[in-house]
Structure 1
Amino acid sequence: MGQKTSKLNKEDLTTLKSETRFSARELQQWYKGFKRDVPTGQLTKEEFIKIHKQFYPFGDPIEFSNYAFEAFDTENNGHISFKNFIISLSLASRGSLQEKLTWSFPIYDRDKDGSISYDDLLTVLKSIYKMVGSSSINLEEDEQTPESRAKKIWEKFGKDINIPDQFITMDEFVQYKNLEGDVTTSLNIYNDLI
């Protein structure tokens, strides 16, 4: 009986193969690990934070984990099913840059008004800097602080931090051609998990 619960059924496997960028073997491995770590099949925010703490031991991932949890909890019910987990992980880790930007937009839209303000952007970047720990990464001179990185990203979108009431729309955000590769590295935090 335990064997059956640690494997995806054929229908779910077929569905997830078509909705993710994972192979059948990878999906089965992820499912087995998910069921082992989350026997209820419903990943809670506390468990999600615990996972981030394991991957980012030199920083404080709590704040960012809360933001990311919202993106993974697509049904907004306070927990993450395996299906929601694996689809989000696929987008966040293996999606195209445009797919990653679309998926991550709600993370950056902290006040949920449909746009990203400079304060929204800075809030998330501060949480990322806290999560990864500044001593564990080498940053460019103009990205040493969350403020300097936020300013750099804001300007890449043609915005001026001195002009109030500016914001980035979803359409602007997904136009990744406006961004240089070094600006988008914060979108790749889930790449190292797989």
Structure 2
Amino acid sequence: MGNKVEKSHIDQSVIDKLIEDTGLEREVIIAWRKQFLLACPSGKMNRKKFYKFYRTLRVESDEKVKEIANFVFSSFDRDSNGKIDFTEFLCGYAITSLGTTRQKLDYVFALYDKDKNNSIDRKEMVKVIAAMYDLLGKSKTDYPPERCVDDVFSLIDVNNDRSLTKDEFIDGVLKNPYLSDIISPFNE
């Protein structure tokens, strides 16, 4: 019984840090924690549990959410241990929902940087763009993901090295705000 209380209890210092990091109120953080623990009593979500939880947060069909949820999982899993704890989830979800454009783009960068080498290559971007097309039900024939990626790279790959650093990516999207609608699954 003491174990259950321990799992549902969240230390005040953790709450204070989450308030600071997310801008959410204490009551909202506690409510999200309850939802998180209902979905994942162990307190850590693997990819499969995250997908089940994430699809309840999206209105699109299961098939459309599945691929993009994979990329979102990787961007939320900041320590790359294959699991998302409550802090990683809440920070990721709050920032991608409520954060500044720059904060959202930081997560978008992580979403594309699948191999976590601090740069995005064309192949990584094509995979995510194709998954976003599927999520949005967008035709791949009118404006193929490959052509979309070529266009994005031509606009923001300033040194033409065929890869995008985080700074190139974020600065490029900030200078070309319409790109955010194309490259980010975190837009309203």
TM-score (norm 2): 0.80
Deviations 1:55-80 (A, max 9, x none): 22164333322222122112222211
For structure 2, the residue ranges without an aligned partner over 5 or more in a row are: none
SS in 2 for 1:18: helix
CA distance in 2, matches of 1:36, 1:113: 34
SS in 1 for 2:81: coil
Corresponding residue for residue 94 of structure 1 = 98
Q: What is the CA-CA distance between 1:47 and the residue it aligns to?
A: 1.2
**Structure-to-structure mapping, 1:153-172, within 5 angstroms:** 153-157=152-156, 165-172=161-168
Q: How many residues align?
A: 182
Mark the CA change 1:48 to 1:112 in structure 2 (over 3 Å): closer, same or farther: same
Corresponding residue for residue 174 of structure 2 = 177
9-18 or 146-155, larger mean C-alpha shift: 146-155
CA distance in 2, matches of 1:82, 1:156: 37
- Does the aligned pair in 2 maintain the 1:7–1:28 contact within 8 Å? no
Task: Percent identity, please.
Answer: 24
Q: What is the CA-CA distance between 1:49 and the residue it aligns to?
A: 1.6
Task: Say which structure, 1 or 2, has more relative contact order (CA 8 Å, 6+ apart).
Answer: 1
Corresponding residue for residue 75 of structure 1 = 79
Corresponding residue for residue 150 of structure 1 = 149
**Structure-to-structure mapping, 1:1-194, within 5 angstroms:** 6=8, 8-54=10-56, 55=58, 56-57=60-61, 59-134=63-138, 144-157=143-156, 165-175=161-171, 176-180=173-177, 182-186=178-182, 189-190=185-186
Q: What is the CA-CA distance between 1:186 and the residue it aligns to?
A: 5.0
- Does the aligned pair in 1 maintain the 2:104–2:186 contact within 8 Å? no
CA distance in 2, matches of 1:21, 1:36: 23
3-12 or 80-89, larger mean C-alpha shift: 3-12
For structure 1, the residue ranges without an aligned partner over 5 or more in a row are: 136-142
